Chains A and B, each alone.
Chain A
């Protein structure tokens, strides 16, 4: 075995997760804050402008007073990219959940997780979280913490389209999902779309699409153009901030793609709220 393997303690991972949970919930991302601010300047409806100003004010209060942006501090989704030259001492899954427990306690954040989905007894510490592991080269550990509220999660949808449905069918499904969501996911939303893979892969792609910085596009011009077209169509719906009408229904439509089967065209739409919270760290 190589002597170059770096060792990291699981306690270090837990502490990092705890810190990221608090920051994600209290400090809105700068790109989202800027996008809300630019949207407020463009709105002609007084009510739409007022709502966006309130969301900006809310973000400032949250950061200054160390209060969560939203009381739905979410189910925590964690993406972990593990360097292959890294050894984690202890159980990484337990460490991540311990970090969530610590962060939600220390941050006075709401515990929103119930154990059995039908019995519905609160677990009392916001665990377990949902973890996606991946392996990358190097000796670092990248962690992305994305707490997801269910106002927006509940309005998300997945459909196994037929290849013959094509781009038009995909467009209809995405627009229908945003229209049905209306005011519920706390617009202006970010629309995360996953296209391809299997059913589960499309869903994960759509969630990862929400992590992308506002204003950035899919690397391929074809998909980048489709994202721009969808953003215009979504904003033309007029749902507006908080659903009270206006030009800003969405701050961005982000599509992630992956090869798929000859018989399929899976499409997942994961809707993110006005704050679409996520923070990352490399240790």
Chain B
């Protein structure tokens, strides 16, 4: 099994093939519906994002609160298609990798091909297992959104499947 580290380089992205199981280490930002809406509004207004998205990875999750003694609660993936409407401006702003679950629309697949991007799938419903792979979690933006705030996560050996590779091949086809 391949181990990869985020932020990912183009070189490491090009080695990955749809359907392959990988273990992810490194830095990942969370963001789901409400955070995406705000990020795109900021970009539209020409305002910098509250974190530098360049070369980064976004994980579509809204975690449970951290119980005492833990860094985070359950944190599995949410359905990616709701983020399709917001993904293009973020990819154009430098976002490289998206983590979620379920298929993406054609525009997102085209952007992945054009910008050498990558779409990884976490195992839908495996929130407790994912939480075990998160070793640090800090809110970096939109604190008022509660579970939809943007967290900066440090992950260790998070099991993911290459769902859409940089050539646009999909595990869902």
By a beta-carbon cutoff of 8 Å, the part of chain A in contact with chain B is 47, 50-51, 54-55, 57-59, 61-62, 65-73, 108-112, 120, 122, 124, 151, 154, 182-187, 242-245, 273-275
Contact = CB atoms under 8 A, between A and B. Distances in A.
Nearest to A68: B74
B128 interface: yes
A110 B73 contact: yes
A124 B146 contact: yes
Contacts of A62: 74, 127-128
Interface string B15-32: 000010100000000000
Q: Is the interface of A mostly helix, strand, loop or mixed?
A: loop
B50 interface: no
A69 B121 contact: no
B127 to A, nearest CB: 4
Q: Bin chain B's interface residue count.
A: 35 or more
Interface of B: 19, 21, 34, 61-67, 73-76, 78-79, 81, 101-103, 121, 123-129, 131-132, 145-147, 159, 161, 171-172
Contacts of B145: 122
A68 B74 CA distance: 6
A73 B125 CA distance: 10
A273 B125 contact: yes
Given A68-B73, A73-B64, A122-B146, A58 B125 contact: yes
Contact of B127 (A66, A68, A154, A182): A68
B161 A108 contact: no
Contacts of A66: 67
Given A109-B64, A183-B103, A69 B125 contact: yes
B67 A183 contact: no
Contact of A243 (B66, B73, B102): B102
A56 to B, nearest CB: 10
Pick the most buried of A47, A70, A244: most chain B CB atoms within 10 A of its CB. Answer: A70
A186 B21 CA distance: 17
A65 B64 contact: no
A244 B124 contact: no
A111 B146 contact: yes
Pick the most buried of A73, A184, A242, A273: most chain B CB atoms within 10 A of its CB. Answer: A242
